[in-house]
Amino acid sequence: MRRSASEQQGGERPIVVWFRRDLRVDDNPALIEAVRSGAAVIPLFVVDTKLISALPSDGAAFDLQAGALRELEDMIRRRGGTLLLRHGDGEDVHRSVIRDFQPSALYFNRDYEPSARTRDERIIRLYRTAGIDVRTFKDAVIFEPDEVLTVDGRPYVVFTPFANTWKRLPAPSPRSAPRRIRTPELSGGGVPDARSLGRKTAVSAPIATGGERAARKRWEWFLRNGLANYDRGRDLPAIDGTSRMSPYLRFGTISVRRMVEDVREAIDAGDAAASASARKYLDELIWREFYQAVLYHFPRVTTGNFRQQFDALRWRTNSRYFEAWKEGRTGVPLVDAGMRQLNETGWMHNRMRMVVASFLTKDLLIDWKRGEKYFASKLLDADTAANNGGWQWAASTGVDPKPLRIFNPRLQGERYDPEGDYIRRYVPELEDVPTEFIHAPHEMPGQLQHELRCVIGRRYPAPIVDHASAAAIYRKLFASVKHP
């Protein structure tokens, strides 16, 4: 008769630590508390085949996760333990874990997305029905959605008061990784990458590699070289002026508590300008939690507009325009550069995200949901809350007290990429175009186009829409919905 792992360990019942979007050993509350209990630990990662089949992610995201898992596996091994990877339907995997190990408890860090909460409720019932204790922990955020509320206990729907309340709360401190992780004898499953999962990879030059070491290396670089100038550099897509930590936060290969502690130390230690810059970066981390809270309290935003009156807005369904936008072939250089950066690297500069989202919704009059879905398929930092919140903000359907914002892509380019360096990097057809025409190459004289071998309409497209005319149409649509 086959003996369970707990019987093999002399009757000790281990604790299952279920890793999800927290692929690290540093400051991992579920792992730390399980080790602290003194029990043996089963570090578990479920390769959920049903979930994977439903995800739109490019193969590069699965390779990024694979890198993080390999390093997690190594980190646990260095501490004397073994990572258990099991493939299959999520619930079936957990049933097999209960059967094989007879654990005393399941520990995991909480997820706030609607689909994840539904999944977690099913798994919790599964363990508790078997008489197994379940403990969950706060990890992905500094403050959970129910911790940042108005004085009458309601969720905030405007960022600034949310941020003001957030800043008044005492932030938890990060905790060090366990020195030792004791696990039963474990085996099974290999780290899945894009190829083994049968996922195609179109992103050719991913912006990030997986794992705690890569996350920490990038974070330390930003603390030294970028944070003090973040307030000025964050809007310039041609320079490395942002943290680029979002892919690491998506997979939890760095602790947000450690990041906030580091930023607050920089605020206290810096001069006036450096402190102001660090405060601006802290605001960006708070935006992340604000969108998590909006999604948590208003899960309907995953399928519809936060401002429900905009359900009546009649979007266009121009497939030719949508394909041109996806491919970076709109004839609007800044928009095309942003989309090509996304397609090539799996990441896009935040200002460019606003520009391309505004262009899709306000210039092309295409439903933000189509853009949100495309971003989810390409972004290595794809996060439902941030992606949805950003798209609804850009489309004027979300939590924005000044919702009618229309970005003029030419003016955005002239202000934030004045020399056209970012455009030339991602739109090589325009690399020889003089700076005076880089934001509107269709205005070049015909002779110059031929001399540069950049004939508009042949080598590079003419703008597919006129911004001023399109923006005027959107304003009318907006007004008709807001004031029927």
Q: What is the CATH number of the domain that holds 333?
A: 1.10.579.10
The DSSP-derived string for 35-87 is: HHTTS-EEEEEEEEHHHHHH----HHHHHHHHHHHHHHHHHHHHTT---EEEE
Same domain, yes or no: 28 and 98: yes
Query: Which residues partner with 108 through β-bridges?
Result: 18, 136
Same domain, yes or no: 51 and 149: no
Confidence of residue 189 (pLDDT cuts 50, 70, 90): confident
Residue 225 lies in a domain: yes
Residue 192 lies in a domain: no
**Tens digits of residue pLDDT in 429-476:** 999 999 999 999 999 999 999 999 999 999 999 999 999 999 999 999
Instruction: Give the mean pLDDT of the chain.
Output: 95
Catalytic residues: 284, 287, 315, 350, 368, 391
**Tens digits of residue pLDDT in 1-43:** 344 555 444 568 999 999 999 999 999 999 999 999 999 999 9
End-to-end CA distance of the chain: 73
Q: Which of 139, 158, 187 is the last residue of a domain?
A: 139
**pLDDT at residue 296 is higher than 80:** yes
Same domain, yes or no: 472 and 430: yes
Same domain, yes or no: 160 and 278: yes
**pLDDT at residue 392 is higher than 80:** yes
Same domain, yes or no: 20 and 99: yes
pTM > 0.75: yes or no? yes
Q: Tell me phi and psi for residue 3, to 5 degrees.
A: -95, 145
Quick one: pLDDT at residue 3? 44
Q: Where are the beta strands (DSSP E) in 59-206?
A: 84-88, 105-109, 133-137
The domain that holds 131 is classified in CATH as 3.40.50.620
Quick one: pLDDT at residue 482? 72
Helix (H, G, I), strand (E, B) or coil at 476: helix
Residue range 406-422: average pLDDT?
98
- By CB atoms closer than 10 A (0-12, 13-18, 19+), residue 173 is exposed
Helix (H, G, I), strand (E, B) or coil at 384: helix
- Structural domain count of the chain: 3
Distances (CA, A) of 389 to 110, 375, 394, 395, 399: 20, 12, 9, 10, 8
Residue 188 lies in a domain: no
Distances (CA, A) of 411 to 57, 111, 305: 32, 39, 28
CB contact set of 446 (below 8 Å; sequence gap of 6+)? none
Residue 6 lies in a domain: no
Same domain, yes or no: 235 and 293: yes
Q: Which of 139, 158, 183 is the last residue of a domain?
A: 139
Q: 392 or 9, which is more confident? A: 392
Quick one: pLDDT at residue 192? 93
Residue in 202, 482, 481, 477 with CA at minimum distance from that of residue 366: 477
**Tens digits of residue pLDDT in 346-384:** 999 999 999 999 999 999 999 999 999 999 999 999 999
Same domain, yes or no: 145 and 284: yes
Residue 74 lies in a domain: yes
CB contact set of 115 (below 8 Å; sequence gap of 6+)? none
What would the two tokens of residue 266 be? 């920089």
**Tens digits of residue pLDDT in 79-123:** 999 999 999 999 999 999 999 999 999 999 999 999 999 999 999
CA-derived radius of gyration, the chain: 24
Quick one: pLDDT at residue 128? 98
**Tens digits of residue pLDDT in 121-138:** 999 999 999 999 999 999
Same domain, yes or no: 132 and 156: no
d(CA 316, CA 319): 9
Same domain, yes or no: 339 and 448: yes
The domain that holds 255 is classified in CATH as 1.25.40.80
Same domain, yes or no: 133 and 145: no
Structural domain boundaries enclosing 166: 141-174+212-297
Sort strands 15-19 and 41-48 into parallel, antiparallel or unpaired.
parallel
Residue 15: DSSP 8-state? E
Same domain, yes or no: 109 and 156: no
Of the chain, the percentage scoring pLDDT greater than 90 comes to: 91
Q: Which of 236, 271, 297 is the last residue of a domain?
A: 297
Same domain, yes or no: 224 and 288: yes
